[in-house]
Amino acid sequence: MTAPSTAQEIRLASRPQGVPTPENFELVAVPVEPPGEGQVLVRNLVMSVDPYMRGRMNDAKSYVAPFEVGKALEGGAVGEVVVSNAPGFAVGDKVLHGLGWREYATVAAEHVVKVDPERAPLGAYLGVLGMPGLTAYAGLVDVAGLKEGDAVFVSGAAGAVGQVAGQVAKLRGARRVVGSAGTDAKVAYLVDELGFDAAFNYKDAPVTEQLAAAAPDGIDVFFDNVGGDHLEAAIASFNPHGRAALCGAISVYNATTPQPGPRNLGLAVGKRLTLRGFLVRDHAHLQERFVREVGGWIAEGRLRYTETTTEGGLAKAPGAFLGMLRGDNTGKALVTF
């Protein structure tokens, strides 16, 4: 076996109260488990840090089981097969799987998908061509029912999901696309690099005011990554029959008490709004269409993306995760080994 006998993993040391800290994580050396029948041993090369991982750190019933204290965290990763006991997988294959947060992963073949490093850089399979990209596509196409001529607002627009959502909206015929983000540099990125029609820094002034100014004719679709004041602003700006794809609510992920809902929710009646939450995993049927359409736009140079990569290996992953929650990333937040 071309793997060491021990390797490192990151465990949940304790459950965060509010904003997570480095003390909530523990880096430990563990034996590398040789793959059994139907399994592969993967050396991870790049892993994803995602907002949903914050939810899994809580001991709360949700759509996915909580991480266990004292056990390794999990999440998307791409690595190289170093030992294969599974038909169809060879040493050297690059694969996508769900056991990030560790240097080596022993994974059943049915939970591993081969990726093509010639087609796209490995990190893209965790970002623009991976789960966040599909989330953006599914939220607009399946959930919000985007139509040509819609005016679209994307919150968290400079992140992994948001940067794809705004561009897909534009490429599918939106009349106007507005984005919000937390720094002036991100706002400039949205307008200058990604072709958003307008963008604003949500820290500068109330979101309701800034959105009303950026979308003077109202909005028809809201792709929400943030919740809270952004959702309230969208409800205020919605035209009749507006549709919101509620993708995430990162503004409340670290809250320790229940947060109030939008104060203007009553407007949903008269405006006949649709506010619809969704999970990307329910939209796997779009995967092929998504890769064909979005992959094509990338190849043609019509859809652009960026990544924020933290180098230096597994020990840097907690810092990258905490930084992503703070907004240090533009585009997909990744850690390379």
- Nearest CB to ligand NAP, comparing residues 51 and 242: 51
Which residues within the stretch 51-90 sit at the binding site for ligand NAP (CB under 6 A)?
Answer: 51-52
CB 217 within 8 A of CB 151: yes
Q: Which stretch binds ligand NAP (CB under 6 A): 5-13, 82-90, 175-183, 267-275?
A: 175-183
Token digits for 219?
């909005």
- Residue 284: exposure state from Cβ atoms within 10 A (0-12, 13-18, ≥19): exposed
Which residues within the stretch 136-165 sit at the binding site for ligand NAP (CB under 6 A)?
Answer: 156, 158-162
- Tell which one of 151, 226, 303, 320 touches ligand NAP (CB under 6 A): 226
Report the 10 Å Cβ neighbour count for 38. Answer: 12
182 binds ligand NAP (CB under 6 A): yes
- Residue 255: exposure state from Cβ atoms within 10 A (0-12, 13-18, ≥19): exposed
- Nearest CB to ligand NAP, comparing residues 167 and 251: 251
318 binds ligand NAP (CB under 6 A): no
Of 136, 333, 168, the residue nearest 247 (C-alpha): 136
- Nearest CB to ligand NAP, comparing residues 10 and 231: 231
329 binds ligand NAP (CB under 6 A): yes
Residue span 89-128 as binding mask against ligand NAP, x where in contact by CB under 6 A, dash where not = ----------------------------------------
- Residues near ligand NAP (CB under 6 A), total: 29
Which residues within the stretch 239-278 sit at the binding site for ligand NAP (CB under 6 A)?
Answer: 247-248, 250-251, 278
- Nearest CB to ligand NAP, comparing residues 53 and 219: 53
State in angstroms the smallest separation of the CB of 61 from ligand NAP: 17
What 3-state class would DSSP assign to 119?
coil
Of 65, 51, 47, the residue nearest 10 (C-alpha): 47
- What distance in Å separates the CA atoms of residue 230 and residue 232, rounded to the nearest whole number? 5
Residue span 189-218 as binding mask against ligand NAP, x where in contact by CB under 6 A, dash where not = ------------------------------
What 3-state class would DSSP assign to 76?
coil
Q: From residue 106, give the alpha-carbon distance in Å to each of 99, 100, 111, 230, 305.
A: 8, 11, 10, 41, 31
Of 323, 311, 294, the residue nearest 124 (C-alpha): 294
- Nearest CB to ligand NAP, comparing residues 105 and 247: 247
Of 78, 143, 163, 134, the residue nearest 291 (C-alpha): 134
State in angstroms the smallest separation of the CB of 57 from ligand NAP: 13
What 3-state class would DSSP assign to 110?
helix
State in angstroms the smallest separation of the CB of 251 from ligand NAP: 4
167 binds ligand NAP (CB under 6 A): no
What 3-state class would DSSP assign to 290?
helix
Which residues within the stretch 4-33 sit at the binding site for ligand NAP (CB under 6 A)?
Answer: none
Interface ranges with ligand NAP (CB under 6 A): 50-52, 132, 135, 156, 158-162, 181-183, 186, 225-226, 247-248, 250-251, 278-280, 324-325, 327, 329, 333
